[in-house]
């Protein structure tokens, strides 16, 4: 009988321990960290978290890769349950989140970690998190639209000089009209929408006027008209074909994708390539449309001051130790990292190699930018390919954005 009683007591203690862990008791010393990094970059973030946890901090970090993260954020914020302690959000989300009072300022964390300050980061990345003088985020990176070039094809067609001023123009590209071998092209259409947003800046335009979205405008019309010339001249990869793979196969001079794809191109045996700025419709200006991954704290009444301090320790660790993130092809935001000699081994260091280059990394911060970007991404290829009437489609895009704004304003 005594043996059975002892066994029962042991079982009860064991169950109580398990239940305590399941109820979240163990989470008191754990920072739950959500990211939308569902690609290879998620593995690099896993390693950074592992490196931090290896320092034996008081609060360890649990990295949770969250597909459809923004939908899940909306759900947990509405219920107040399971809100993560820390998250990575994109720069274009900050204005809306702040307007809806969904972000906690970084003020207390910055007070405890004095090196988490503007002068220690790339300006654009830091400033995207500042609304009305309040800092709501700490940046991890800038990820930019970029243009890779095939060195062998540049030499074959005798146009290496296009790279001399770091500004390859549409006018220069048109010089090869009628001179390309069959099956070879000057440029593909990868991330074409990103490229069009950059052209708006190259033409000294904007996507809003007096706070109202401005898509059906002369500056958009001019940008599309100029880029469309490349398609009309037969210099852009055929509509519907995978221009990204065509570049990797050695049949396209320029691929307009992202800094993060340098790792994919590097894995292609025999591909002799380099990196430069996105082509421009202007000989006087080049712009690489960019965004930023930012650390943010969503509103969460259950987050303690002690846990906030732990988050600060984590962010300061990453400020000094995020070279691993460069391996993912990202432009690290921390100056401590990008000013290191080691960082020059990474291709994307080109974009911080001079003040002019750094300024070319343009991040839109207009509140309704996500809707405009969606419209541009959806319709750009058809406009450039001549599949639709440009004027009618620009009007459609304008209405698309206005409808999105009205729909989401009504939901708030």
Single pTM value for the model: 0.90
Domain 28-140+292-359, classified CATH 3.40.190.10, yes or no:
yes
Same CATH topology for 28-140+292-359 and 145-289+368-411: the answer is yes
Using CA atoms, how far residue 109 sits from 89, 128, 379, in Å, is 18, 18, 42
Tokens of 339: 């000013």
Q: Are strands 141-144 and 331-332 parallel, antiparallel or unpaired?
A: antiparallel
DSSP labels, 17-53: HHHHHHTTGGGGGEEEEEE---STHHHHHHHHHHHHH
pLDDT at 16: 42
* Separation in Å, CA 89 to CA 3, 96, 237, 294, 412: 56, 12, 33, 5, 20
> What pLDDT does 410 receive?
57
What pLDDT sits at residue 300? 95
* DSSP per residue, 224-274: HHHHHHHHHTT-BPPTTS-HHHHHHTT-EEEE--BGGGHHHHHTSTT--EE
Query: Taking the domains of the chain in order of start, what are their residue ranges?
Result: 28-140+292-359, 145-289+368-411
pLDDT value for 17: 39
Q: What is the pLDDT along the chain (412 residues), one digit of tens a residue?
A: 444 544 544 444 444 433 333 333 336 899 999 999 998 999 999 999 999 999 999 999 999 999 999 999 999 999 999 999 999 999 999 999 999 999 999 999 999 999 999 999 999 999 999 999 999 999 999 999 999 999 999 999 999 999 999 999 999 999 999 999 999 999 999 999 999 999 999 999 999 999 999 999 999 999 999 999 999 999 999 999 999 999 999 999 999 999 999 999 999 999 999 999 999 999 999 999 999 999 999 999 999 999 999 999 999 999 999 999 999 999 999 999 999 999 999 999 999 999 999 999 999 999 999 999 999 999 999 999 999 999 999 999 999 999 999 998 754 4
Q: Would you call 212 exposed, middle or buried from its count of C-beta atoms within 10 A (0-12, 13-18, 19+)?
A: exposed
Q: Any idea of the CA torsion for 210, 216, 219, 220, to the nearest 10 degrees?
A: 130
Domain 145-289+368-411 falls in which CATH fold? D-Maltodextrin-Binding Protein; domain 2 (3.40.190)
């Amino acid at each position: 009988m005594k043996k059975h009683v002892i066994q029962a007591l042991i079982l009860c203690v064991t169950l109580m321990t398990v239940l305590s862990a399941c109820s979240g008791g163990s989470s008191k010393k754990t920072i739950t960290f959500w990211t939308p990094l569902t690609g290879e970059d998620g593995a690099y973030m896993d390693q950074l978290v592992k490196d931090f946890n290896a320092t034996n901090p008081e609060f360890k970090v649990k990295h949770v890769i969250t597909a459809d993260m923004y939908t899940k954020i909306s759900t947990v914020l509405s219920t107040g349950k399971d809100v993560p302690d820390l998250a990575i959000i994109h720069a274009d989300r900050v204005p809306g989140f702040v307007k809806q009072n969904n972000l906690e300022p970084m003020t207390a964390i910055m007070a405890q970690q004095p090196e988490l300050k503007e002068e220690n980061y790339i300006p654009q990345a830091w400033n995207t998190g500042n609304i009305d003088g309040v800092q709501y985020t700490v940046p991890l990176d800038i990820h930019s639209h970029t243009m890779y070039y095939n060195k062998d094809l540049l030499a074959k067609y005798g146009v290496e000089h296009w790279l001399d001023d770091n500004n390859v123009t549409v006018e220069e590209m048109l010089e090869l009209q009628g001179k390309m071998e069959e099956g070879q092209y000057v440029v593909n259409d990868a991330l074409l929408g990103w490229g069009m947003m950059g052209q708006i800046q190259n033409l000294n335009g904007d996507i809003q006027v007096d706070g109202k979205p401005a898509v059906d405008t002369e500056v958009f019309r001019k940008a599309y008209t100029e880029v469309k010339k490349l398609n009309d001249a037969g210099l852009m990869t055929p509509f519907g074909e995978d221009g990204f793979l065509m570049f990797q196969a050695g049949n396209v001079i320029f691929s307009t994708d992202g800094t993060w794809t340098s790792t994919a191109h590097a894995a292609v045996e025999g591909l002799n390539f380099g990196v430069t700025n996105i082509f421009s419709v202007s000989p006087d200006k080049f712009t690489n449309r960019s965004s930023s991954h930012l650390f943010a704290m969503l509103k969460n009444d259950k987050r303690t001051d002690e846990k906030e301090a732990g988050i600060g320790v984590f962010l300061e660790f990453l400020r000094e130790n995020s070279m691993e993130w460069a391996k993912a092809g990202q432009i690290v935001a921390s100056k401590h990292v990008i000013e290191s000699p080691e960082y020059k081994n990474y291709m994307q260091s080109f974009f911080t190699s001079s003040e002019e280059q750094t300024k070319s990394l343009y991040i839109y911060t207009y509140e309704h930018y996500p809707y405009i970007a969606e419209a541009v991404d959806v319709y750009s290829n058809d406009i450039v390919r001549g599949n639709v009437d440009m004027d009618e489609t620009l009007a459609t895009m304008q209405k698309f954005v206005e409808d999105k704004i009205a729909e989401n304003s009504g939901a708030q």
